[in-house]
Amino acid sequence: MKRHWGVISRHVSNARFKQPVLNRYISQVIKGKPYYVTTPIFYVNASPHVGHLYSMVVADVLKRWQVLRGRHAILSTGTDEHGMKVQRAAELQDVHPKALCDTNSETFRDLARKANIANDHFIRTTDPEHRDAVEYFWVRLVESGHVYETTHKGWYCVSDETFYPESTIEKRVSPLTGKPFMASKETGNAVEWTEEKNYHFRLTAFREQLLKLYADNPDWVEPSERFEEVISWVRNNLEDLSISRPASRLTWGIPVPDDPSQTIYVWVDALINYITVAGYPLWPPGAEHAGGWPADVHVVGKDIVRFHSVYWPALLMALGLPPPKQILSHGHWLMNRQKMSKSVGNVVNPFFALDRWGVDTIRYFLIHNGAVAADADYSNGLIVEAYKKGLQGGLGNLLNRVTRAKKWSVRTAVTNMFDRKDEVTPDNIAAQARLLHDLVLATTSGMDGLRPRSALSEIMEFVFETNRFLHNAAPWDKSTAGDTVAVDRIVFYAAESIRVAGILLQAFIPEKAAELLDRLGVSHDRRMLKDAVLFGDDSYGTPLVPLGEGAQSSLFPPIPVED
């Protein structure tokens, strides 16, 4: 083999993972393995849209949550730069594919930076290390005996980069031209009849192993409705997979080792990125998991679930490698309940959205309003509504009421309450304490179940409840103000509620949550999940930053709204 095969073969054992032990990697935490979460790698044939940003933010929230728990966590994102779509896009722009990739890949990298995505890796499928990994994977796949050469006939979709079975194709009429065309029932994208000689992977040989994987791991794909579709596909539509394309038709890709007349199928190439990032194939014996594999969760859009939950685990099984632990498949974003489309002119530019509303406002909106099982609607009005109700009127208002008051001192309340923490508390205080305890449990349950929207909703409902608690307890009222013990108790429990909520919100709105904790005076070394308990910190209460006065200096100031 070419280039680095001598070095690679000396470091990689072909028999490292055996099929009988694959399933045990799904549920257990492997000693020394970091938590590893991925976004899809994004096609560079077009500019980023809000759906790409949503995938990034969901994965980032999952990673940040694990960091809050004290676990080493890795997040990978990047760009998918080979295949027919990229080749045709470059031809239309009259540029070399690599030049197109270089420009557009940097745009996706900029989006990750702008959205405050804490990614540890940004992989490009044109990276030399990735090409080496793909070529090595191909050679091992051939050695497994599950690759054969044949003539393939079928309906191919350039947009989806895949062949579709005859049973999944239907005739449609273009709403723009009125002309009929053949399309995928699943995606609605046009397909074309193709006959070509290429290599195939014996995907059908893994039907029973796939079904066993699914049965042994009933939460392997979230949500459950989509998992049922995957299982049905494997049972009823599974065919051997075409894994190469003639170089005469597709030149922009990785050539098949020892057969330059064929180019490796873009999805085989793309999926391998997840193990390239984890150091494959240079996995030293005894430290195979140091780079993160198997991934704890792949975050993907619903349109690419099959590639990740059928093709990918089967390819890994063929090499005796463990599959990812879980697939989180989310819905799409709509505009006025219509699918976003450039031809319709309703595509959201994520850079404009981040500039207009602010990074954490958009992060909050995407998680708060986004959906996993269904699609979600995007509009400026919905962003304003979420901001005013949750951030400005809920969290920001609560913080101001507690920290900016002239009638009490948060620091004094914290100090005094730690001296009295064993006292019997009134019913309303005890109820707030229970809410605080339940909040951490509910948030943890939501995040462990890959339900970040549910977890965020729990936090925000707790914020609203704390506002009601403070309003009803009324420490500013004349009947209460004279009782310093009562005032300290109310202020302390309100401040504790804000502190705990602020710690949890670091996964969702990291910059604003950090500022909240600064305003509350929480030390930077007391902001982990273990600190998010009642009486978990006796040192806060003195602001680390100026609190300011008036609405414009609030944590969430009024935002100008354009028509």
Is there a contact between 263 and 244 (Cβ–Cβ < 8 Å)?
yes
Structure tokens belonging to residue 100:
């197109």
pLDDT of 256: 97
pLDDT of 121: 98
CATH 1.10.730.10 fits 380-553, yes or no: yes
DSSP letter at 249?
T
Phi, psi (degrees; rounded to nearest 5) at 458: -65, -45
Q: Where are the alpha helices (DSSP H) in 47-205?
A: 50-68, 84-93, 97-114, 128-143
Tell me whether residue 291 is exposed, middle or buried, using C-beta atoms within 10 angstroms of its C-beta: 0 to 12, 13 to 18, 19 or more.
buried
Is there a contact between 95 and 262 (Cβ–Cβ < 8 Å)?
no
Is there a contact between 287 and 33 (Cβ–Cβ < 8 Å)?
no
Q: What is the dihedral angle through the alpha carbons of 256, 262, 264, 265, rounded to the nearest 10 degrees?
A: -160
d(CA 278, CA 291) in angstroms, rounded, equals 4
d(CA 114, CA 378) in angstroms, rounded, equals 20
Strand ranges inside 66-138, DSSP E: 73-80, 121-124
Point out which residues pair with 201 in neighbouring strands. Answer: 147, 241
Tell me which residue has tokens 């759906």.
Answer: 51
Is there a contact between 372 and 451 (Cβ–Cβ < 8 Å)?
yes
d(CA 328, CA 265) in angstroms, rounded, equals 24
- Angle in degrees, CA 273, 350, 356, rounded to 5: 150
- Number of neighbours of residue 157 by Cβ within 10 angstroms: 21
**3 state SS of 162:** strand
- Angle in degrees, CA 419, 422, 423, rounded to 5: 95
What is the H or E stretch that residue 377 is in? strand 376-378
Is there a contact between 505 and 61 (Cβ–Cβ < 8 Å)?
no
User: Pairing mode, if any, of strands 35-43 and 73-80?
Assistant: parallel
DSSP letter at 254?
P
Is there a contact between 97 and 90 (Cβ–Cβ < 8 Å)?
yes
Tell me whether residue 146 is exposed, middle or buried, using C-beta atoms within 10 angstroms of its C-beta: 0 to 12, 13 to 18, 19 or more.
buried
**Rg for the chain, CA atoms, rounded:** 27
DSSP 255-324: EETTEEEEEE-HHHHHHTHHHHHTTTT---TT-TTTT-PSPSEEEEEGGGHHIIIIIHHHHHHHTTPPPP
d(CA 266, CA 218) in angstroms, rounded, equals 29
- Angle in degrees, CA 83, 84, 90, rounded to 5: 100
Is there a contact between 474 and 491 (Cβ–Cβ < 8 Å)?
no
Point out which residues pair with 245 in neighbouring strands. Answer: 263
Q: Name the residue among 498, 494, 541, 537 with its Cα closest to residue 521.
A: 541
Tell me which residue has tokens 């995040």.
Answer: 447
**3 state SS of 157:** strand
Phi, psi (degrees; rounded to nearest 5) at 200: -125, 150
d(CA 528, CA 297) in angstroms, rounded, equals 22
Is there a contact between 446 and 560 (Cβ–Cβ < 8 Å)?
no
10-residue stretch averages of pLDDT, the chain, 563 residues long = 42 39 52 94 93 97 98 98 93 95 97 98 98 98 96 75 78 80 82 85 98 98 96 95 94 96 96 98 92 98 96 98 98 84 74 97 98 93 97 97 95 95 88 97 97 98 98 90 90 98 98 98 98 97 95 92 52
d(CA 328, CA 61) in angstroms, rounded, equals 13
Residue 68, CA distances (Å) to 292, 391, 501, 546 in order: 18, 21, 13, 26
What is the H or E stretch that residue 113 is in? helix 97-114
Q: What is the pTM of this model?
A: 0.90
Phi, psi (degrees; rounded to nearest 5) at 273: -55, -30
